[in-house]
Amino acid sequence: MEYVGNVIRPPSEADALILQVTVGCSYNKCTFCGAYKDVSFTIKDEAAIIRDLQFAGQYCRNHRRVFLADGDVLILSQKRLVRLLHLIRQYLPWISRISLYGNARAIRGKSHDNLQELKTLGLDRVYMGLESGCDAILQHVKKGETAETMIAAAKKIRDSRLFLSVTALLGLGGVALSKRHAEETAKVLTAMAPNQIAILTLMPLANTLLGEEVLAGKFLLPNPQEILTELSLLIERLRDVRCQFHANHTSSYLPLSGRLPKDREALLAALGKARSGAVSLVPEQRRAL
């Protein structure tokens, strides 16, 4: 497989075949993300993609899922996406699930018929980064979206009956907006009604504007206990959501996973033990992005 730069996939795609279709991120302005700062967004040519599919067809026959990288394959034109899905079906006919990242702008750029066509051709799951439901935080980190625009994008995915996985980022509001971040993110997640919620924890990177703010003392990062308090409040406020809930990313201080609302009390109890010191947290040197 021919990979260029950093190739990133969601934790739940650990067993998927990673097919790199684009390099970098079509937006690439978020101040907290350093994944693609060193590369310009480009679309790989079809010949390179076909070479990867031919390789996978010969050596990756045990894979049943494909994840399309990099940061936002859904930004491609409908014609390109349809062609891509046809190629996957041609070279890897045994694949049962195709997934990709889709930012809110890309999702809103697709019509209901577009999304339905992609679903018919094998697209099953869209991973979307909410990060925060607080507009003040979204503006500060230059997300380029508002809570309202991301709820609208989520509705498009739900209406197309595609599986929607939404990520949020603990600590993104700093100490000052920690409570507001948790409360408003829970409110927006409830409105989005995703099939899955994935919670990560902010780890400032030196090559990002937010990382520079942390080093300069302009952004005060919540400590581990404050992060756990933020997560507890978020879970408490997710009272009308039915979905899989994961807070077990390698950036987490306390790996948690369950089903909401069924496991809410168990999740909160585990957080309570961690906050009281009865359960050890993941040490800093073992946390990663």
Do 33 and 66 form a contact (C-beta atoms < 8 A)?
no
Do 100 and 127 form a contact (C-beta atoms < 8 A)?
yes
Amino acid at 267: L
Coil/strand/helix, residue 130: strand
Among the listed residues 103, 44, 48, 40, the one whose alpha carbon sits nearest the alpha carbon of residue 71: 103
Task: For residues 105 and 128, give the distance between their C-alpha atoms in angstroms, rounded to a whole number.
Answer: 10
DSSP assignment of 163-187 equals EEEEEEEETTTTTTTHHHHHHHHHH
Among the listed residues 147, 143, 129, the one whose alpha carbon sits nearest the alpha carbon of residue 183: 147
Strands 22-23 and 17-20: what pairing?
A: unpaired
Cis peptide bond N-terminal to 70, omega within 30: yes
Do 199 and 247 form a contact (C-beta atoms < 8 A)?
yes
pLDDT in tens, the chain (289 residues): 999 988 888 888 989 999 999 999 999 999 999 988 888 899 999 999 999 999 999 999 999 999 999 888 999 999 999 999 999 999 999 999 999 999 999 999 999 999 999 999 999 999 999 999 999 999 999 999 999 999 999 999 999 999 999 999 999 999 999 999 999 999 999 999 999 999 999 999 999 999 999 999 999 999 999 999 999 999 999 989 999 999 999 999 999 999 999 999 999 999 999 999 999 999 999 999 8
Do 106 and 26 form a contact (C-beta atoms < 8 A)?
yes
Among the listed residues 103, 116, 117, 123, the one whose alpha carbon sits nearest the alpha carbon of residue 166: 103
Task: For residues 219 and 213, give the distance between their C-alpha atoms in angstroms, rounded to a whole number.
Answer: 5
8-state DSSP, 11: G
The pair phi, psi for residue 64, each rounded to 5°, is: -115, -5
8-state DSSP, 45: P
| Burial label, 284 (beta-carbon count in 10 A; 0-12, 13-18, 19+) | exposed
Residue 264: count other Cβ atoms within 10 Å of its Cβ: 17
Place of tokens 């100490």: 175
Among the listed residues 145, 118, 114, 119, the one whose alpha carbon sits nearest the alpha carbon of residue 132: 145
Reported pTM: 0.95
Coil/strand/helix, residue 144: coil
Task: For residues 178 and 181, give the distance between their C-alpha atoms in angstroms, rounded to a whole number.
Answer: 5
What domains does the chain contain, in order, with CATH numbers?
11-286 (3.20.20.70)
Angle, helices 78-91/46-59, rounded to nearest 10 degrees = 30
